[in-house]
Amino acid sequence: MTFEITPKDAKKMNNKLLQLWRFIMLNLKILKAVDHSKRA
């Protein structure tokens, strides 16, 4: 896949509300995976 970061993508990367959502989702993803690790 040829992937390029368009001006629209660049705007999304700095959209504060969207990035707040991504921040929450990234943390949840990491915590879920870490929970699996802690049970090891």
Least gap, CB of 27 to another protein (angstroms): 7
Least gap, CB of 30 to another protein (angstroms): 5
10 neighbors 4 (Cβ within 8 angstroms): no
Distances (CA, A) of 16 to 6, 11, 26, 27: 18, 10, 15, 16
Least gap, CB of 4 to another protein (angstroms): 5
Binding site for another protein (CB under 8 A): 1-5, 10, 12-16, 18-20, 22-23, 26-27, 29-34, 36-38, 40
